[in-house]
Amino acid sequence: MELIQLNIRGISHNQVQAGAYALLLEEKSGKIKIPIIIGILEAQSIASALEKHQHIRPFTHDLFVNFAKNFDFNIKSIIIYKIYDGIFFSRIIFEKLCNEKIQKEIDSRTSDAIALAIRFKSTIYATKEVCDQAGIHFEHYFALNNFKQDIKNDLKKLKLEDLQNLLKQAVLNEEYEFASHIKKEIDNRKLQ
């Protein structure tokens, strides 16, 4: 299984889905970006960990970190291994720090795995299949972006998958007028 290391690019309010946030992960080279829709509580926990903000009362993820460290567990890495019906699936790779290293894997929601990875300073990976399926390839986007005005007239010629990727990127770049043209084309296709 080929793994691609990802970094957290940021979190933004999701303009497409009310009450949700977009967590943006990117490949180390910056060519591939993966937006993941997360809830408000997960966004708050991730943002708090990124900013190293200390709370009077710990978040659930902070409580887990304290528990794991007290029992000599460490998170080595997380792997986003599958996407199905828009839902990302992840595994947390644990190590038990004792005479010999014992390694275990457990399934996790991706947002929880990332919240813990930040706190443990662990590496975040995705499989190549996840990157191929959910990743936005920026070299393609920038090529399209140069011809944005022409594309507005030619949205009907693009595949639905390309329209959805272009919509994600337009929203992430806060190009809402362009995003509205793309969304209108997607909606028109759903009505047919």
Report yes or no: 36 and 12 within 8 Å, Cβ to Cβ.
Answer: no
Q: What's the first-to-final CA gap in the chain, in angstroms?
A: 39
Strands 123-127 and 3-13: antiparallel
Task: Compare 69 and 166 and report the one with higher pLDDT.
Answer: 69
Residue 135 has a pLDDT of: 86
Q: Give the type of residue at 170.
A: A
pLDDT (tens digit, 9 = 90+) per residue, 136-154? Answer: 876 555 444 544 445 555 6
Domains of the chain by range and CATH?
A: 3-133 (3.10.690.10), 136-191 (no CATH)
As a whole number, mean pLDDT of residues 121-138 equals: 90
Q: Give the residue among 43, 45, 23 at the shortest CA–CA distance from 134.
A: 23
How far, in Å, CA of 173 to CA of 162, rounded? 16
CA distances from 113 to 39, 81, 84, 92 (A): 14, 12, 17, 6
As a whole number, mean pLDDT of residues 170-180 equals: 73
Residue 174 has a pLDDT of: 67
pLDDT (tens digit, 9 = 90+) per residue, 7-53? Answer: 998 888 766 666 778 888 999 877 788 888 888 889 888 988 888 87
Q: What is the pTM of this model?
A: 0.71
Structure-token pair, residue 4: 């691609």
Helix (H, G, I), strand (E, B) or coil at 39: strand
SS3 breakdown of the chain: % helix, strand, coil, rounded to 5?
Answer: 45, 35, 20
Q: Give the residue among 13, 80, 67 at the shortest CA–CA distance from 44.
A: 13
Residue 78 has a pLDDT of: 97
Residue 129 has a pLDDT of: 94
How far, in Å, CA of 122 to CA of 125, rounded? 10
